[in-house]
């Protein structure tokens, strides 16, 4: 057996339909009295439910979370937390909301209770990101890892089918890259394979019937596993490309992941045969890259970067940026091959067998 290091991240996860109701107990468990609720909206049904549940423990609501955590928004939320004397931050929403909660925790050390409503997985990681003057910086810090996460699939029933599918593919991408991570280990690989299985079987059902609670539960379970995989291993070329495309071209996060994933897998296929075999097994197919492409097509997802706002002229810049500071990757990251990968993703071509 190859040597490895397994470093489990300390986070309490509570899983079940209707278990948002346990939120007051979890706040009590942390000894908190003045909760700042963070969300993308101040008035959504989910925020109202949290407000009702917490009653007079709500110190305030910050409802302006935005993708990629703009610095000005982070500062405003931090100010609010300070002025209110908040002693806990409850985030209810997707990766953008959790990202803002993390920005608050980074400077205030407030404990986070996270209630995720998408499949992005940020709630299971100590990775934070902030964007200032068009530049996104990311880092890892134990202070931003939520203390408690409540996974209640009922809250995901309102996530539109198309967003559910793209967000689920984003989670599959975490699992896929964890399987060939330079710092991977057998525990995370088991979780990652199971995550791909859970997501790839539940997402097609959700796309047909977004109200299926059983499929929603299975997808959220997969997203939890994917979040652990993301938080515990170093991501590779696929995530690097998506960060570049999101940061420099402002492409939508989840859709960018779902389009690039089959092509990044094709790039790495022959350099990571064991990981590819596990991805294929989890998908129930023979070939991982084409299996992922077919899954995206079955889910009705956009398959081409040109259809989500990418410019053809930008491809070279993106390839160069990815090659200048690559993440560790099973196959050497070379300009011509990376540009070819991006051109395939731009056109939405099927990866070759
Ligand atoms: P998001 O949080 O931006 O949500 C997308 C949209 O869906 C928003 O308009 C939101 O209001 C809406 N939404 C969320 N849940 C909903 C629900 N249940 N019903 C109806 N609408 C709902 O998107 P995301 O893909 O979850 O997160 C993307 C962001 O998260 C990116 O900025 C990405 O960089 C970050 N991220 C960070 C990490 C990390 O570890 N730090 C991991 C994954 C993603």
How far apart are the C-alpha atoms of 293 and 285, rounded to whole Å? 11
For residue 136, pLDDT over 80 is answered with no
Q: Atom 32 (ligand 1): residue with closest C-alpha?
A: 68
Instruction: Answer yes or no: are the C-beta atoms of 296 and 169 closer than 8 Å.
Output: yes
Q: With a 6 A CB cut-off, is 82 part of the ligand 1 pocket? A: no
Q: With a 6 A CB cut-off, is 68 part of the ligand 1 pocket? A: yes
For the segment 205-248, what is each residue's pLDDT rounded down to a tens digit?
999 999 999 999 999 999 999 999 999 999 999 999 999 998 88
Work out the pLDDT band at 132, boundaries 50, 70, 90.
confident
Instruction: Answer yes or no: are the C-beta atoms of 116 and 125 closer than 8 Å.
Output: no
Q: With a 6 A CB cut-off, is 99 part of the ligand 1 pocket? A: yes
Ligand 1 nearest-atom number relative to CA 125: 40
Q: Say whether pTM exceeds 0.95.
A: yes
Q: With a 6 A CB cut-off, is 227 part of the ligand 1 pocket? A: no
How far apart are the C-alpha atoms of 351 and 344, rounded to whole Å? 8
Pocket test for ligand 1, best of 65, 114, 120, 178 (most atoms within 8 A of CB): 120
Name 48's Cβ contacts closer than 8 Å, sequence gap at least 6.
none
For the segment 68-127, what is each residue's pLDDT rounded down to a tens digit?
899 999 999 999 999 999 999 999 999 999 999 999 999 999 999 999 999 999 999 999
Q: With a 6 A CB cut-off, is 164 part of the ligand 1 pocket? A: no
Name 320's Cβ contacts closer than 8 Å, sequence gap at least 6.
335
Share of the chain above pLDDT 70, in %: 99
Instruction: Answer yes or no: are the C-beta atoms of 34 and 57 closer than 8 Å.
Output: yes
Q: With a 6 A CB cut-off, is 159 part of the ligand 1 pocket? A: yes
**Average pLDDT over every residue of 177-201:** 97
Question: 292 C-alpha vs ligand 1 centroid, how far in Å?
Answer: 22
Q: Atom 33 (ligand 1): residue with closest C-alpha?
A: 95
Question: 332 C-alpha vs ligand 1 centroid, how far in Å?
Answer: 31
Q: Atom 30 (ligand 1): residue with closest C-alpha?
A: 95
């Amino acid at each position: 057996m190859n040597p490895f290091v397994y470093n489990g991240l300390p986070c309490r996860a509570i899983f079940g339909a209707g278990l948002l109701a346990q939120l007051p107990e979890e706040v009590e468990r942390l000894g908190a009295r003045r909760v700042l609720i963070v969300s993308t909206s101040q008035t959504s049904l989910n925020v109202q439910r949290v407000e009702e549940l917490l009653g007079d423990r709500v110190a305030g609501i910050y409802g302006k979370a935005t993708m990629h955590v703009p610095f000005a928004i982070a500062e405003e939320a931090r100010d609010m937390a300070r002025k209110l004397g908040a002693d806990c931050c409850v985030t209810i929403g997707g990766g953008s909301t959790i990202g803002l909660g993390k920005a608050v925790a980074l400077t205030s050390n407030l404990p986070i209770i996270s209630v995720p409503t998408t499949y992005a997985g940020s709630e299971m990681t100590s990775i934070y990101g902030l964007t200032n003057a068009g530049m996104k910086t990311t880092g890892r810090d134990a202070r931003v890892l939520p203390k408690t996460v409540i996974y209640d699939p009922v809250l995901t029933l309102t996530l539109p089918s198309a967003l559910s599918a793209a967000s689920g593919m984003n989670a599959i991408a975490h699992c896929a890259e964890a399987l060939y991570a330079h710092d991977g280990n057998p525990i995370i690989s088991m979780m990652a394979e199971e995550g791909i299985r859970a997501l790839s079987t539940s997402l097609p059902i959700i796309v047909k019937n977004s109200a299926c609670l059983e499929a929603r539960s299975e997808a959220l379970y997969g997203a939890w596993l994917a979040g652990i995989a993301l938080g515990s291993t170093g991501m590779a070329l696929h995530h690097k490309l998506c960060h570049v495309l999101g940061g420099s071209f402002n492409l939508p996060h989840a859709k960018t992941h779902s389009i690039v994933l089959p092509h990044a897998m094709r790039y790495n296929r022959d350099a990571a045969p064991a990981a590819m075999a596990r991805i294929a097994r989890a998908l129930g197919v023979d070939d991982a890259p084409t299996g992922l492409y077919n899954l995206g097509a079955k889910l009705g997802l956009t398959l081409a970067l040109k259809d989500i706002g990418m410019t053809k002229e930008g491809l070279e810049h993106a390839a160069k940026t990815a090659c200048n500071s690559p993440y560790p990757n099973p196959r050497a990251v070379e300009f011509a091959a990376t540009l070819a990968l991006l051109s395939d993703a731009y056109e939405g071509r099927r990866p070759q067998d």
